[in-house]
Amino acid sequence: SYELTQPPSVSVSPGQTARITCSGDALPRQYGYWYQQKPGQAPVLVIYKNSERPSGIPERFSGSSSGTTVTLTISGVQAEDEADYYCQSADGSGSWVFGGGTSLTVL
């Protein structure tokens, strides 16, 4: 079955830049989505269609795509950004998939 691969954890100091990658064979042909989930809360969409930012999401969140990898970048990380981040995409035949999630720690 199709898989998306993310690093389990990323740590950064406040004000630094955090980059979270997500790799999958179908990503050159399928859009990537990114969701933020804080403990005890439902996920929130932070990036759609690889690089678009929903209204209400801070400008420090951005997304990019290159080949089989999509990347979520958080510039000037703040303490409130500490959360789990999940990428999500599709395999082109109807099935969707989530990455395993990345725990972002703000040191």
Partner 1 sequence: EVQLLESGGGLVKPGGSLRLSCAASGFNFITYSMTWVRQAPGKGLEWVSFISSRSTQIYYADSVKGRFTISRDNAKNSLYLQMNSLRAEDTAVYYCARGHCTGGTCYSGVDYWGQGTLVTVSS
Evaluate whether 32 touches 21 at the Cβ level (below 8 Å). Answer: no
Which region, judged by CB under 8 A, interacts with partner 1, from 11-19, 41-49, 59-67, 68-76? 41-49
In the sheet that holds 69-74, the strands lie side by side as 18-23, 69-74, 61-66
Name the residue among 81, 39, 73 with its Cα closest to residue 53: 73
Which region, judged by CB under 8 A, interacts with partner 1, from 12-20, 29-37, 57-65, 74-82? 29-37
Closer CB to partner 1, 62 or 98, in the complex: 98
Contacts of 41 (CB under 8 A, 6+ apart): none
Per CB under 8 A, contacts with partner 1 among 58-87 are 84, 86
75 burial level (CB within 10 Å; 0-12, 13-18, 19+): middle
Closer CB to partner 1, 15 or 28, in the complex: 28
Under the binding rule (CB under 8 A), the answer on residue 7 touching partner 1 is no
Q: Of 10, 35, 63, 104, which one interacts with partner 1 (CB under 8 A)?
A: 35
Under the binding rule (CB under 8 A), the answer on residue 38 touching partner 1 is no
